Amino acid sequence: MWLRSLLTELGILSPTPPVLWCDNIGATYLTANPLYHSRTKHIELDIHFVCDQVAQSHLQVQFISSTDQIADSFTKALPTARFCSLRNNLNVHELPLRLRGRNGATESPASDKAHARDKAQDKSQQMDKDQIQNNQQEEEAHV
């Protein structure tokens, strides 16, 4: 609802109400059937807000199977295979590039050059330190 309000303020109007996907069939029925409320006095105020929005056609609530509920990847601890499946449904893919150190895996040529450059820089810094130390020892010997 907040996002729709923001888009409206920006001049982007949607001809259809947003869809709230719910994997609980009971909650889906509850939003569609106001008579069912008399048996559910213990529920939170959120459901009343959602029911009002559905009644005013500002929101649609649709059922989705738990196996297809992409929001689970953000809200639940899932087995790796399940998480990867849901992540792929979002078209989010793991990058082939590794940004931290060398782990024995094949890396890009750019990363190999960066590693060689870093190694040369470390060697140069060590040589500078050795030179400073030698100079200090020579000065101490002359004193």
- Assigned domain for 120 exists: yes
Q: What is the mean pLDDT of each run of 10 residues along the chain (143 residues)?
A: 82 87 81 65 70 85 85 86 86 74 57 70 74 75 68
> What was the pLDDT predicted at 45?
66
Q: Which three-class secondary structure state does DSSP give residue 9?
A: helix
Q: How far is CA 4 from the centre of its chain?
A: 21
Taking CA atoms, 28 is separated from 18, 20, 69, in Å, by 15, 10, 14
Kindly report, residue by residue over 111-129, the tens digit of the pLDDT: 667 667 777 777 777 777 7
- Assigned domain for 7 exists: yes
First-last CA distance in the chain: 80
Q: Name residue 22's beta-bridge partners.
A: 63
> What was the pLDDT predicted at 104?
55
Instruction: Count how many domains the chain has.
Output: 2
- Assigned domain for 96 exists: no
Tokens of 53: 């929005």
- Assigned domain for 56 exists: yes
- Assigned domain for 123 exists: yes
> What was the pLDDT predicted at 110?
59
The range of the structural domain enclosing residue 42 comes to 2-89
> What was the pLDDT predicted at 44?
67
**Cβ contacts of 23 within 8 Å, gap of 6 or more:** 63, 64, 65, 66, 69
> What was the pLDDT predicted at 102?
61
Do 54 and 71 touch, CB atoms closer than 8 A? Answer: no
What is the model's pTM? 0.50
